[in-house]
Structure 1
Amino acid sequence: MKKLIMISFLIVMQSAYSQDSLAIKKKPEELPAKKNPLDIGDLKINLNPAGDKWIKFALSSQIWLRSIENNPGTMVNGVPQDQTYDAGIRRMRLTIQSQITPFYSIYFQVGTNNESFISGGGTGTGATGAGKRAPFFIHDAYNELAIIPRNNFQTGKPNKNNIYIGAGLHSWNGVSRLSNGSSVKMLAGDLPVFNFPTIEVADQFSRQFGAFVHGEFNKLNYRFSINKPFATNLTPAIGGGAVDNNKSGKLSYAGYIYYQFFNKEVTANAFLAGNNLATKKVLNLGAGFYFNKQSTLTQPLKDVFESHNTNIMGTDIFAELPIGNKNKEMGLTLYSVYYNYNYGPNYLRLSGVLNPGTVDPGFKGETALEGAGNNRVLMGTGSIWFSQAGFVLPKFSNILKVQPFFNYALKNLKALNEPGSYFDAGINFYLYGQNTKVVAQYSNRPLYNPTTKMIFDRKGEYLLSLQIVL
C-alpha cells in the first residue's frame, strides 16, 4: 500500500509537470484568452432569459483503495486475516437542484455508499456473490420556499437578511458545522462519522424527514428543524447500556447557528465546506443542539424498562486564513469542535467504515471490545473533542495544489474506563481546484479490552482516495 501511495504521488506530480510544460511551450495566441484553468463551472441550464429559473446538476465520486490492519480475531470472507487490502466506492452521488420560480426550489440527491468486494450488497448478496449491486437510494428530497431571498428579485442586489423554509427528507442538521459537513469539500479523506449523532440509526445517512428554516441575520447564519426520526426498536440487555428504541414516536429538534466575523458563506444547500483551500479569510464561531425525547431504552432489571432522552450539544470554531504573498496562494485551514453526547446510561456505538471483517469464532487470543475488521468506538454518552488543520503549500504549478493535513479526536465516553486518542495524517493533491482530488492518508485507532474497558493495542489503516466532483 505504501508503494501504491508513492506511485500515485509520482503520477500526480508528473501530470502536473507535463501540463505546465505544455502550457509553457504553447504560443500565447494558442492559449484561451482570459480563462481560468481551474474554473470548470457548473452543470447548469437556464430555463428563461433572465436566468432566475434554472436546473443544476452535480456528480461526485469517491473511490477508496486501502490497506487495513484488522482487529484481532478477524475473518475476511471466512479466512482469518491480520491485514486486508480492499477497494470500494465510498460515495457516488447525483444531485439535481432546480429553481422553478424565483421563490420556489427543489433539491434532490440520490446515490450509493460503502460498496466493496464484500460489503454493501443489495440484490446481489447471496449466490451471486457478496457486495454486488449495492442499493441506489434517495439521500435528499425536499422543497424550499424563499420568504426573504438572498438577492432581491427585482434589482438582483444582495439582501442583508434572508430566510427560507422547507420540508422533506433533508440534512439541515443541528449540533455543529461538521454535522452539516460537505462530503465533497472535506479537509481529510473522510468525515469522522461521529459528527452525525444519529447516523444510520434514527436517520438515513444523516437525514431525517421534517420541516426546517434557515437563513441569515446580517452575519449570523442559522438553521433549525423539527423532524420525525426513523423508527428504532432495539431491545437492551439486562443491566446493560442504553440502546436505540424510539417506539414512543417523539419528534426531534435540532439547530445550529454561527457568527461570521469576516467573509460570509453562501448556503445555497445544507452542506458546509470543511475546506476551501483558504482562498478567502474566514472566521466562524458556532453552537448547536439535537434533542429527541424517549429515544433510547435500558433494562435495569428483567422486564423492567426505562426510556431516556437523546440530548447532544456542540460548539465549534472554523477558520481559513490566506498567508503571505497572494501569488503564492498559501493558506491555513483550522477547525475544532467539542461535542457533549447524552444518549442514556453507558450508550456506546461501534462502527467501521467499509468494514470487511467478521468475528473469527476459533480465535484464541485477546479480542477487542470493538469486534472484527476495522471497527472502532464511534461515539456514545460522554464527550468528544475533534480538531483538524491543513496548510496549502506555496504555489509551484498552475494545475496542482498540495495540502498536508492532520486530524485528532479525543473520546472520553462513560462506558469506557480510559479516554481514547484517534488520529489521521495525510496529504491532499488537488487538480483543477477541488474538482479532482487525490488523498493519501494514514489513520490510527486504539482497541479496548472488553472486560477492563482499557486500551490494550492500536491498529492502523492506509487510504488512497480518488475524488471527482462536477
Structure 2
Amino acid sequence: MKKLTLFAGLIFSALTFGQGSPDYGGGLKVNINEDGSKYFRIISWAQFWAQHNSDRPLDANGNEQADLNFNLRRARVLMYAQVSKDFLILTHFGLNSLNSGNMTPTGTGDASQLFFHDVWAQYSLGKNHAIGGGLHYWNGISRLNNQSTLNIMTLDNQRQAWATLGLSDQFARHLGIYLKGSLGKLQYRVSINEAESNNLQAAVVPVNGGAATYTGRRLLGSKEAGKTYAGYFEYNFLDTESNFLPYKVGSYIGTKKVFNVGAGFFLHPNGSVLADGLGNLSGEDVSIFAVDAFYDAPIGKNGGAITAYALYQNNDYGKDFTLGTTYETGSMIHGHLGYVLPVKTKTKFQPYLSFDSRKIDAIDDNASQFGIGTNLYLSGHNSKLTLEYQSLKYANSDAVNTITLQAMIYL
C-alpha cells in the first residue's frame, strides 16, 4: 500500500538538516513500497524580490527607469526518486529572474519558459561512492560553485563564484559524467563534461591582436576544445556534511557544527581563442583554481550561531578576458560572516556582512563589492525574509548601490 508521509530520515539531510525549521521535517515524500526504500520526493521554492536602485541606466528609448522594481528571482521544482539503494534519478526545473522587461503578453517569451536545471541518473559504487551522468551540478572549483539556492546566507550567491555559468555550461550545469564519494572525512566530486557551443559569446569573434574570447568549441571544434574537467575536494574536521545531493548548504543556523577546508579546479583546454595580427586563431586553456574554508556552529545555549566563509579564486579565461562586470581573467578574494542572535523564539534574526575584491588583468585595476543585510527566519530557511544593501565599485566607475528585500518560501 502506498503511503504519503512527511519524512525526516538521515538520507535527506543534504536538503533538510540545514534548513533550521522547527516545523519542517524532510518534505513531501511518497513511498512506493511498504518499507519506504522505494520512493520519490518533491520540493518547491520561490524567491520574490523588491529592489531599489537609483543608479539604473536609461532604457532603450532613452527614458529614466523607476528606482523600485519587482522580480521573480527563482521559481523551482525539484524531484528525485530512488527505486533501490543502488539507483537514483533527479530532475529539477524552473525559471529565473522574471521581470517586467522580459515578460511577454501570453507568457511565450524565453524568460517565461520553464527549463531543466538538472536531469541526471546515478549508480552506486558501494556504500560511499557513486557515478552518474546527465545535466548535473556536481561542480568543481569551490563550495560557492556548488551552492544550493534554498539556504544561501546572503541575499544571493557571489556571482563570480558561479565561474562558468553561460560560458561552458547551461546555468551552472554541465552535460557529462561525474564521480563522487567520501574517503573517511574527505569528500570529493570530479567530472568530465561537454563544453557548450552556444554560450554567452555565441556571436563573438576575437579581434586581431586583441583579448581572448570564450569561443573555443565553436571556432576550433569539439576535438580540440570540446571537453571540460572539474573537481572539488573538502575535508570535514567536525560534523560530516551529507553529499547525498550536490547542493551545498549556505548556513545551518546553528543545527550543525561544521568546519571544512576545500580546494577545487576547472579546466577547459583551448576553451578561449586568440587572433594574432593576421587573424590566425589559436586556443588558450581556461583554468580556474580555488581554496576555501567554511565554519558554521552554534554559540552558547540560547540559539546563537555563527556562519563564516572565505574564498580565494584564481581565474584564467585567457589573455585580458572580460565579459561585462562578471567574468575577468584575474583573481578574487571573498568572505562573508553572519551571526544568529541568541533569542529563545521560533523567529530568528541573522545579521551578516559580505565583501569581495577582484583583481582584473585587462584593466590593471580592481573591483570591490560590499554587502550588509539581515535574514529574518520565520521558520528556518523554509520561510524567511532578507533585506540587503549592496555596493559595487568597478574600477573607476561610480559605485552602484542597491537595496533588495526578498521573500522566500520553500516547501
Task: Say yes or no: TM over 0.5.
Answer: yes
Find out whether 1:55 has 2:40 as its counterpart: yes
| CA apart distance, 1:236 | 1.4
Give 3-state SS (helix, strand or coil) of 1:415's partner. helix
Find the counterpart in structure 2 of residue 422 from structure 1: 369
Do the aligned residues in 2 keep the contact of 1:187 with 1:275 (CA within 8 Å)? Answer: yes
Find the counterpart in structure 2 of residue 69 from structure 1: 54
Give 3-state SS (helix, strand or coil) of 1:194's partner. helix
| CA apart distance, 1:310 | 0.6
Give 3-state SS (helix, strand or coil) of 1:391's partner. strand
| CA apart distance, 1:385 | 0.6
Task: Give distance in 1, aligned partners of 2:81 and 2:23.
Answer: 25
From 87, 106, 113, the equivalent of 1:104 is 87
Find the counterpart in structure 2 of residue 137 from structure 1: 115
Task: Give distance in 2, aligned partners of 1:208 and 1:345.
Answer: 24
Find out whether 1:333 has 2:312 as its counterpart: no
Task: Give distance in 2, aligned partners of 1:341 and 1:185.
Answer: 26
| CA apart distance, 1:338 | 0.5
Do the aligned residues in 2 keep the contact of 1:117 with 1:130 (CA within 8 Å)? Answer: no
From 282, 288, 299, the equivalent of 1:306 is 282
| CA apart distance, 1:47 | 1.1
Task: Give distance in 2, aligned partners of 1:447 and 1:200.
Answer: 21
- Deviation digits for residues 409-428 of structure 1 (CA, Å, limit 9, x no counterpart): 10001012222211111000
Task: Give distance in 2, aligned partners of 1:310 and 1:134.
Answer: 32
Find out whether 1:231 has 2:197 as its counterpart: yes
| CA apart distance, 1:133 | 6.2
Find the counterpart in structure 2 of residue 404 from structure 1: 351
The one-letter amino acid paired with 1:276 is Y
Give 3-state SS (helix, strand or coil) of 1:313's partner. strand
From 23, 30, 37, the equivalent of 1:45 is 30
Task: Give distance in 1, aligned partners of 2:318 and 2:110.
Answer: 37
Find the counterpart in structure 1 of residue 229 from structure 2: 253
Find the counterpart in structure 2 of residue 4 from structure 1: none
Per the alignment, do residues 133 and 272 of structure 1 end up closer, same or farther by CA in structure 2, a change over 3 Å counting? closer
Task: Give distance in 2, aligned partners of 1:456 and 1:70.
Answer: 12
Find the counterpart in structure 2 of residue 381 from structure 1: 329
Do the aligned residues in 1 keep the contact of 2:168 with 2:197 (CA within 8 Å)? Answer: yes
The one-letter amino acid paired with 1:405 is Y
Find the counterpart in structure 2 of residue 171 from structure 1: 137
Do the aligned residues in 1 keep the contact of 2:123 with 2:130 (CA within 8 Å)? Answer: yes
| CA apart distance, 1:300 | 3.1
From 242, 246, 255, the equivalent of 1:279 is 255
Give the fraction of aligned pairs with identical amino acids, expressed as a percent. 29
Structure-1-length-normalised TM-score: 0.78
Task: Give distance in 2, aligned partners of 1:335 and 1:296.
Answer: 31
Task: Give distance in 2, aligned partners of 1:278 and 1:462.
Answer: 27
Find the counterpart in structure 2 of residue 358 from structure 1: none
The one-letter amino acid paired with 1:285 is V
Task: Give distance in 1, aligned partners of 2:271 and 2:397.
Answer: 33
Per the alignment, do residues 37 and 183 of structure 1 end up closer, same or farther by CA in structure 2, a change over 3 Å counting? closer
The one-letter amino acid paired with 1:307 is G
Give 3-state SS (helix, strand or coil) of 1:204's partner. coil
> What's the Cα RMSD here?
1.8
| CA apart distance, 1:306 | 2.2
The one-letter amino acid paired with 2:404 is L
Find the counterpart in structure 2 of residue 466 from structure 1: 407
Flag as ranges the 4+ runs of structure 1 deviating above 3 A.
128-133
From 386, 394, 413, the equivalent of 2:360 is 413
Find the counterpart in structure 2 of residue 368 from structure 1: none
Find out whether 1:266 has 2:242 as its counterpart: yes
The number of equivalent residue pairs is: 381
Do the aligned residues in 2 keep the contact of 1:105 with 1:144 (CA within 8 Å)? Answer: yes
Find the counterpart in structure 1 of residue 157 from structure 2: 191
Find out whether 1:210 has 2:176 as its counterpart: yes
Do the aligned residues in 2 keep the contact of 1:171 with 1:208 (CA within 8 Å)? Answer: yes
Task: Give distance in 2, aligned partners of 1:444 and 1:37.
Answer: 34
Do the aligned residues in 1 keep the contact of 2:373 with 2:388 (CA within 8 Å)? Answer: yes
The one-letter amino acid paired with 1:419 is N
- Deviation digits for residues 375-422 of structure 1 (CA, Å, limit 9, x no counterpart): xx2131110111001000011422x11000111010001012222211
Find out whether 1:437 has 2:384 as its counterpart: yes
The one-letter amino acid paired with 1:336 is A
| CA apart distance, 1:463 | 0.3
The one-letter amino acid paired with 1:422 is Q
Task: Give distance in 1, aligned partners of 2:244 and 2:343.
Answer: 30
The one-letter amino acid paired with 1:324 is G
Give 3-state SS (helix, strand or coil) of 2:145's partner. helix
Give 3-state SS (helix, strand or coil) of 2:216's partner. coil
The one-letter amino acid paired with 2:318 is G
| CA apart distance, 1:237 | 2.2
Give 3-state SS (helix, strand or coil) of 1:175's partner. coil
| CA apart distance, 1:101 | 1.6
Find the counterpart in structure 1 of residue 5 from structure 2: none
The one-letter amino acid paired with 2:87 is Y
| CA apart distance, 1:198 | 1.2
